[in-house]
Amino acid sequence: MPDRETTVARLRELVEDFVARRDWHQFHTPKNLAMSLAIEAAELMEHFQWLTAEQSCAVVGEPKKLAEVSEELADVLCYALAMANELGIDLSAAIQAKLAKNEQKYPADQYRGRFGPDDPNTAGR
């Protein structure tokens, strides 16, 4: 069931089912889930901790490392889906709303090739 065919709602159901069968909703306060998501994000980051920028890009061609990174990314997403379930947040709507907001904040023609106003590469622009 690849990304092409899988709805976000379907993934939310899979996580909900996993949590409910263990009676884990009692632990899934938004506070605990936010902590858990941050912990998994740090474990993902750990894979790139000492790598140079170039070495981190090369991970795309290293199957073993890529599998580990995929698993950490899945952990992050499972907690994001669990939080959406607890709080009744529609993630697709939230993402689309945020992209629309960022479209205004970072107009494509002003930010092409610049990550922000402080970008030292384009400070003289």
Report the site for its own copies in 56-75 (rule: CB under 8 A). Answer: 56-60, 66, 69-71, 73-75
| Pairwise CA distance, residues 125 & 112, whole Å | 12
What is the number of other CB atoms lying within 10 angstroms of the CB of residue 56? 15
Q: Which among 12, 13, 37 is positioned nearest to 92, based on CA atoms?
A: 12
- Please give the residues from 26 up to 55 whose contact with its own copies meets the rule CB under 8 A: 26-27, 29-32, 34-39, 41-53, 55
Count of residues in contact with its own copies, rule CB under 8 A: 89
Q: In this structure, what is the dihedral angle of CA atoms 47, 48, 49, 50, given to the nearest 10 degrees?
A: 110
The residue within the footprint of its own copies, chosen from 105, 116, 124, 125 (CB under 8 A), is 116
Answer for which of 63, 104, 105, 112 binds its own copies (CB under 8 A) is: 112
- From the CB of 114, what's the least distance to its own copies, in Å? 8
123 binds its own copies (CB under 8 A): no
Residue holding tokens 């990314």? 73
- Residue from the set 63, 104, 105, 108 that interacts with its own copies by CB under 8 A: 108
Spatial separation of the C-alpha atoms in residues 25 and 84, rounded to whole Å: 13
For residues 9 and 81, give the distance between their C-alpha atoms in angstroms, rounded to a whole number. Answer: 9
| Residue 117 binds its own copies (CB under 8 A) | no
User: Is position 9 an interface residue for its own copies (rule: CB under 8 A)?
Assistant: yes
Tokens coding 94: 């939230």
Among 99, 104, 105, 125, binds its own copies (CB under 8 A): 99
